[in-house]
Amino acid sequence: MSATYRQQAPAKVNLFLHVTGKRDDGYHLLESLVCFTATGDVLSGELRDDDQITLSITGPMAAPLAQNDINENLVMQAAKLLQDTCAPKQGADLILDKRLPIASGIGGGSADAAAAIRLLCEMWKLDLDAHTLSRIALSLGADVPVCLHGKTCVMSGIGEEITELPDLPPVPIVLINPGKAVSTPEIFKARADEGFSPTGAWQGKQKFQSAASLADALSECGNDLTLPATGILPEICDVLNALAREDGCLLARMSGSGATCFGIYDTTSQAERAAHAIATQNPDWWISPTHILSEKTREQAEIGAAFPD
Ligand code: C5P
């Protein structure tokens, strides 16, 4: 039996997201502080002797993807692109354990694509240079380069410019999605003429020691897509209010183009209590109490600890 390889696809959280301009091709210039969480999808794979690539999707969020053409899944697209670029001798049977909600502003598909690149580079023993990797990643989507980077950073340009930052502490965070997908292009279109934020909001090279100091620094920054997103999906306001109301919530914001929002909490037990209380009142929402991945917690995740369900 061939070995099983495995890669985590952690959820991406935009701790703030400023829209700073627009390119002639319609893509928006962004400035965003991005971190990753211990909640995520998991991609595993086995080598095949022929050159076929297969993908099956399991897990609690697999059902909404069942109608889609499997070849359109970003994992498949990433695999085919790597195969075309590198002509490996073998194929791969891939299994995506889909736990993150679909089209939800926390990277889902982009994180999966990045995990596919990492996994197949390992399985097929590819040694691609950083430039080729980021070109492949960007061609799959604006958020794929930052997910391939996988560590706290400021993302700018349309997503291709990445400035490394000191690690954040493993801050307790609760992710909530109201169970409705939103379309990223539609949200960007809805903000049309709202003007742009100035660049350089985050000079933060400083190391944060606590959830409170991080939340304090973030209080000046927001998510410029929140207004257009709440216009399209008003439930986002309910989610933000629910997070903010709970004891210990230091900051509540939307991630990416929504609809997932996050709350930063002072302590892990406050985050867990908040998640439990909100889940009791909103049984249809997807709710995940988790923490920001730091160097230490990332290592733990990579040595095979499964993500919590
Ligand atoms: O690259 P991705 O497929 O993730 O982007 C989806 C859509 O979101 C783009 O076609 C574009 O309309 C919008 N977008 C944007 N500016 C970005 C990222 C995405 O306008 N930086």
Asked if pLDDT for residue 299 goes beyond 70, the answer is no
Q: Round to whole Å and give the CA distance between 306 and 309.
A: 9
pLDDT, average across residues 70-86: 97
The one catalytic residue among 41, 112, 143, 167: 143
- Percent residues over pLDDT 70 in the chain: 95
Mean pLDDT across the chain: 93
Asked if pLDDT for residue 308 goes beyond 60, the answer is no
Ligand 1 pocket: which of 27, 72, 143, 183 to mutate (most atoms <8 Å of CB)?
A: 27
Residues in contact with ligand 1 (CB, 6 Å cut-off): 26-28, 30, 141-143, 158-159, 184-185, 188
Alpha helices in 158-254 (DSSP H): 184-190, 211-218, 226-232, 235-245
| Lookup result for tokens 């690149």 | 117
Asked if residue 18 lies in contact with residue 32, where contact means CB atoms within 8 angstroms, the answer is yes
Split at pLDDT 50, 70, 90, the class of 135 is very high
Split at pLDDT 50, 70, 90, the class of 205 is low
- Determine the pLDDT at residue 80: 97
Split at pLDDT 50, 70, 90, the class of 255 is very high
Q: Round to whole Å and give the CA distance between 209 and 108.
A: 28
Q: Is 293 left (phi over 0), alpha (psi -120 to 50) or beta?
A: beta
Residue 103 Cα to ligand 1 middle (Å): 12
- The residue whose C-alpha atom lies closest to atom 15 belonging to ligand 1 is 27
DSSP 66: T
pLDDT, average across residues 45-58: 97
Asked if pLDDT for residue 303 goes beyond 60, the answer is no
- Determine the pLDDT at residue 192: 73
Nearest partner of 114 among 84, 154, 74, 85, judged by Cα: 74
Q: Round to whole Å and give the CA distance between 9 and 22.
A: 29
Closest atom, ligand 1, to C-alpha of 142: 1
3-state SS class at 63: helix
Q: Round to whole Å and give the CA distance between 134 and 53.
A: 22
Nearest partner of 18 among 234, 226, 281, judged by Cα: 226
Q: Round to whole Å and give the CA distance between 148 and 151.
A: 9
Span 33-47, pLDDT tens digits: 999 999 999 999 999
Asked if pLDDT for residue 84 goes beyond 90, the answer is yes
- The residue whose C-alpha atom lies closest to atom 3 belonging to ligand 1 is 141
- Determine the pLDDT at residue 301: 59
The one catalytic residue among 12, 97, 112, 224: 12
Split at pLDDT 50, 70, 90, the class of 207 is confident
Residue 12 has φ and ψ, to the nearest 5°, of: -95, 135
Residue 184 Cα to ligand 1 middle (Å): 6
Ligand 1 pocket: which of 14, 18, 28, 224 to mutate (most atoms <8 Å of CB)?
A: 28
289, HSE (Cβ side, Cα atoms, 13 Å): 18
Domains within the chain, CATH numbers bracketed: 5-165 (3.30.230.10), 172-297 (3.30.70.890)
Nearest partner of 41 among 105, 93, 110, 112, judged by Cα: 112
C-alpha distances in angstroms, 53 versus 6, 59, 79, 84, 113? Answer: 16, 20, 8, 12, 14
Ligand 1 pocket: which of 24, 144, 184 to mutate (most atoms <8 Å of CB)?
A: 184
Q: Round to whole Å and give the CA distance between 305 and 299.
A: 9
Span 236-249, pLDDT tens digits: 999 999 999 999 99
Closest atom, ligand 1, to C-alpha of 143: 4
- Determine the pLDDT at residue 203: 77
228, HSE (Cβ side, Cα atoms, 13 Å): 20
Alpha helices in 58-129 (DSSP H): 74-86, 108-123
Q: Round to whole Å and give the CA distance between 215 and 266.
A: 9
Residue 186 Cα to ligand 1 middle (Å): 10
DSSP 57: E
Split at pLDDT 50, 70, 90, the class of 278 is very high
Q: Can you say how many angstroms the Cα of residue 173 is from the centroid of all Cα atoms in its chain? A: 14
* 89 in active site: no
* 12 in active site: yes
Residue 110 Cα to ligand 1 middle (Å): 12
- The residue whose C-alpha atom lies closest to atom 14 belonging to ligand 1 is 27
